Amino acid sequence: MTKTLVIAEKPSVAQDIVRALTPVAGKFEKHEDHFENDRYVVTSAVGHLVEIQAPEQFDVKRGKWSFAHLPVIPPFFDLKPVDKTKSRLNAVVKQAKRKDVTDLINACDAGREGELIFRLIEQYAGGSKPLGKPVKRLWLQSMTPQAIRDGFDALRSEQQMAGLASAARSRSEADWLVGINGTRAMTAFNSRDGGFFLTTVGRVQTPTLSLVVEREEKIRKFISRDYWEIHATFGAQAGEYPAKWFDPKWKKGEDVEARADRVWSAAEAQAIANAVRGKQATVTEESKPTTQASPLLFDLTSLQREANGKFGFSAKTTLALAQSLYERHKALTYPRTDSRALPEDYLPVAKQTFEMLADSGMRHLAPHALTALNNNYVRPSKRIFDNSKVSDHFAIIPTLQAPSGLSEAEQKLYDLVVRRFMAVFFPSAEYTVTTRISTVAPHSFKTEGKVLVKPGWLAIYGKEAADEVEGGKDGDKGQNLVPVQPGEMVNTLQVDPKGLKTKPPARYSEATLLGAMESAGKQIDDEELRSAMQEKGLGTPATRAAIIEGLLTEKYMLREGREIIPTAKAFQLMTLLRGLEVEELCRADLTGEWEYKLSQMEKGQLSREAFMAEIAAMTERMVKKAKEYDRDTIPGDYATLESPCPNCGGVVKENYRRFACVGKPGAEPCGFSFGKSPAGRTFETAEANALLRDKKIGPLEGFRSKAGWPFTSEIVIKYDDEAHNYKLEFDFGDDKKGEESGEIVEFEDAALGACPICGSEVHEHGSNYVCSKAVPTAAQPTPSCTFKSGKIILQQPVEREQMTKLLETGKTDLLDKFVSMRTRRNFKAHLAWDKEAGKVNFEFAPSKFPPRPGAAAKTVAAKVGKTSTTAKKAPAKKAAAKTMAAKAPRKAAAGKAPSAALAAVIGAEPVARPEAVKKMWEYIKAHNLQDPKDKRTIVADDKLRAVFGKDSAGMFELAGILGNHLGGE
């Protein structure tokens, strides 16, 4: 019998598919890496299992990056497995190659990235020739069982997916060409003077960075101006009301900061105030009704923006929460969407969703759902239901499944989506807006009042939102106005000029940066117009969060509160790209055009060949510009440092590569300079000032060795006798030099706690925390203690409060920024005092995924305990022993000698298999060998590779593998 292989993107989705198909296709049998019944084999990837690479003959590895080997534009791409998921790839390929598997179903996420994940696996499985098995596409908008079954009833054909597949491959290859060639070309340019200055660029990440840099440049260049407003209080028979002076003849001109209510001199403002003070005013007013419709339904970008503004969630966090609500809780529809409308045939589903919400027991939401049903609000509307605005996915809305067991953050996001979904069906909010002009000839004062008549959709958001009126805080809008009788003259009770300053544009937050990416940098406030522009945006809703995170990881940007601030490294990159005239990587609107062309390709309106030819031409031009640039420096807007030259006291100025002394006024430069980016880490201007002032700075993170390894160090400026000048050096904090020289140390900081070895005070000293008796002091010139612990360990800063905690309690909190020297992966651990070793060591938190053998042992122990309490005739110990003997295999009770390979991991003592598994897990945790993305997979180091016979193994394989290494078991 032939079978169909279903490949999902993640194991959790594979399980959902099996649960949904079981009632209609029969029960599935579970295997280690797949599920199977008479009709289907269901397996899954874990995200990307395969990535593209240049064929060996066209590629050049790191260490040989130079212009001689660029550009790299291979005629085709090879595939390579992602190292950490090789075993999963092999398992999926094995199922794809089965002779009884005659066709495939692509059940990866419904989007460009999901299409690419499947296509690369299929290509890899085929090897040198196509796999040749027909493919259908499962396209899921919701993860409820019924939605999955409906998806299987409406599978899409290979032809229907051809455009999306072409766009997916083209996006991947374009990013590779621009990223690899751009990064290598800019790295080669920046490393000309020696060292390895990694300079990453990307087709989408670099134009995004340019938006942030351009905004920061405007802020830095902004010169604040003083202006004045004139605020008055008028008295009518019915009471008082506020007003603000304005010029009714004012028209918008070239001065972007001019406004009708601003005057630019204190004297003019005072003159207006003096002219009207104590006088009577005539009043005219106009009242008119106005309405405000609810915002559109959420797509991913608008949801990320709203969640960032309301809760401070990063774009990455919002995507992860939405994905969890979609996959795990089945509570939201597919989140990675760029659509803000629903299909025109979705009205019945919308009604059913309101019915679910009304009956859900969610007290804060159910009453509004009931109101909508009772008042027949759920009706056809082109603003909500519009096929022309739905591509492959529709807007994010709640599913028919009421969630339970949500985390606090998940609940917040779910509520946000549900309220927006309900609001869009509710009537518009209705206001009465009154504009009152009070005139003391020739001066006019304006007052605006806005009264909510019917809350409409605002009722869903509560009283606070309904009362909140834009501008109400300014004192000239939003208030309920006291009435003025027709023809009544009012008195000017108080009038005061108010001095203010113009403000620079605000820095980007993630919310505003996502909006700028969506519109390719164009300032578009209108929601409908922005929706029309988004096809030409930077990246896609699914990738924008990752782009922002990538720029933060590469230290091109920093988060400070909710603000995003570009670093010196970002300014240096933009200076370089502008100087080289590589416009494509600087201008967001140009890169937005590439994204638009990819969306055209998805619709079959543009050929893959034409797009890739443009990308190749862009790549060649970018490399050529960098290669042929022949001037000594790059033109740019450079800083002058406040601190003087340490050698001659002259002025130190920045250029593209260095901070250099330009001499005192009228004198020649003394030759002092230092590189702006030693070991690939760029100095901020404030850091360079501090370095000159104090002759040292640090320890600083983010340096890279010539081989690309990250490291941390202090930087010092020392006098060089041979050069007769100062030069910059790394200082790795080897405090032994000071100890050996006998130089007396004086501690200026407060003690952190008692030394765990001798009980003396522990202080900061250089790049370490040390016992006061571990260095020469006036009280004890000869050190007698050995306690010392670094202030930065494997790139994890150890703050003073953490060291205090370690000295008080024996260990720090769980720290999460350690970076393994072997794997370069992040890991979490406590730092703890190891009394036996006499030093600070790692202590790892218990795994969330305990090994199955251990769990089995606990079950046996539980059964033993139960038997011993119920056995009346036999003593408790004998009953327990008999039960253990019955439950446990006899061989496991006796120890067996481990093989040489296994002995290298757990020791050479004879051991039973459960004990061997336990020791193996201790080794795995101590060396952080669980795959961070799939804790059930163990990534082998050299010792484990000898035991496993392969690069990785599943958690449940361990017992079987170890049996082969225990005395012939």
- pLDDT, tens digit (0-9, with 9 covering 90-100), for 31-76: 989 999 999 999 999 989 999 998 877 776 655 677 888 888 998 8
Looking up tokens 């993630």 gives 510
Residue 415: partners with Cβ closer than 8 Å, 6 or more residues away: 364, 365
pLDDT digits (tens, 9 = 90+) for 198-217: 888 998 899 999 999 999 99
Q: What pLDDT, on a 0 to 100 scale, did the predictor assign at position 823?
A: 61
Asked if the model's pLDDT at residue 281 lies above 90, the reply is: yes
Length reported for the chain: 969
Tell me the pLDDT band of 865, cut-offs 50, 70 and 90.
Answer: very low
Give the pLDDT mean for 694-718. 80
pLDDT digits (tens, 9 = 90+) for 324-342: 999 889 999 999 888 899 9
Q: How many other CB atoms are there within 10 angstroms of residue 942's CB atom?
A: 8
Q: How many other CB atoms are there within 10 angstroms of residue 42's CB atom?
A: 25
Asked if the model's pLDDT at residue 847 lies above 70, the reply is: no
Q: What pLDDT, on a 0 to 100 scale, did the predictor assign at position 768?
A: 84
CA-nearest of 725, 727, 709 to 717 is 727
Asked if the model's pLDDT at residue 852 lies above 80, the reply is: no
Give the separation between CA 286 and CA 391, rounded to whole angstroms. 45
Give the pLDDT mean for 417-423. 96
Lowest mean pLDDT among 211-215, 255-259, 346-350, 896-900: 896-900
Asked if the model's pLDDT at residue 476 lies above 60, the reply is: no
Give the separation between CA 493 and CA 814, rounded to whole angstroms. 63
Residue 29: partners with Cβ closer than 8 Å, 6 or more residues away: 35, 36, 37
* CA torsion through residues 361, 363, 364, 365, sign: positive
Residue 259: partners with Cβ closer than 8 Å, 6 or more residues away: 250
What would the two tokens of residue 846 be? Answer: 């218990």
* CA torsion through residues 18, 19, 21, 25, sign: positive
Question: For residue 169, what are the CA distances in angstroms to 59, 166, 591, 595?
Answer: 19, 5, 17, 13
Give the pLDDT mean for 393-411. 92
* CA torsion through residues 899, 902, 905, 909, sign: negative
Look over the chain and give the mean of its residue pLDDT values, rounded to a whole number: 84
Q: What pLDDT, on a 0 to 100 scale, did the predictor assign at position 435?
A: 93
The beta strand positions in 502-573, using DSSP E, are 557-560, 563-566
Give the separation between CA 490 and CA 276, rounded to whole angstroms. 12
* Percent over 70 (pLDDT), the chain: 88
What would the two tokens of residue 638 be? Answer: 């450079």
The beta strand positions in 91-238, using DSSP E, are 101-107, 135-137, 226-236
Q: In sequence order, which ranges of 43-138 are alpha helices (DSSP H)?
A: 86-96, 112-126
641, 689 contact by CB (below 8 A):
yes
Name the pTM for this structure. 0.68
3-class secondary structure, 682: coil
Catalytic residue among 40, 241, 326, 334: 334
- Containing 589, the helix (H) or strand (E) segment is helix 588-602
Lowest mean pLDDT among 734-738, 753-757, 964-968: 734-738
Ramachandran category for residue 710: left, alpha or beta (phi over 0 → left; psi -120 to 50 → alpha) = beta
Radius of gyration of the chain (CA): 34
Query: Of the spans 146-155, 476-485, 774-783, 884-893, which averages the highest pLDDT?
Result: 146-155
Question: For residue 337, what are the CA distances in angstroms to 322, 391, 843, 888, 953?
Answer: 11, 9, 42, 53, 36
What would the two tokens of residue 431 be? Answer: 């206001």
Helix 162-190 vs helix 568-579: angle between axes, to the nearest 10 degrees?
100
What would the two tokens of residue 887 be? Answer: 């439950």
Q: What pLDDT, on a 0 to 100 scale, did the predictor assign at position 707?
A: 62
Tell me the pLDDT band of 857, cut-offs 50, 70 and 90.
Answer: very low
Give the separation between CA 542 and CA 538, rounded to whole angstroms. 11
Lowest mean pLDDT among 110-124, 676-690, 837-851: 837-851
431 in active site: no
* Percent over 90 (pLDDT), the chain: 46
Asked if the model's pLDDT at residue 736 lies above 60, the reply is: no
Question: For residue 468, what are the CA distances in angstroms to 128, 178, 411?
Answer: 65, 47, 24
Lowest mean pLDDT among 346-350, 518-522, 598-602: 518-522
Give the pLDDT mean for 112-124. 93
Q: In sequence order, which ranges of 277-392 are alpha helices (DSSP H)?
A: 300-311, 315-327, 347-358, 366-374
Residue 619: partners with Cβ closer than 8 Å, 6 or more residues away: 71, 73, 177, 178, 181, 182
Cβ burial 653-662 (10 Å sphere, 16+ → b, else e):
bbbbbebbbb
558, 567 contact by CB (below 8 A):
yes
Asked if the model's pLDDT at residue 135 lies above 70, the reply is: yes
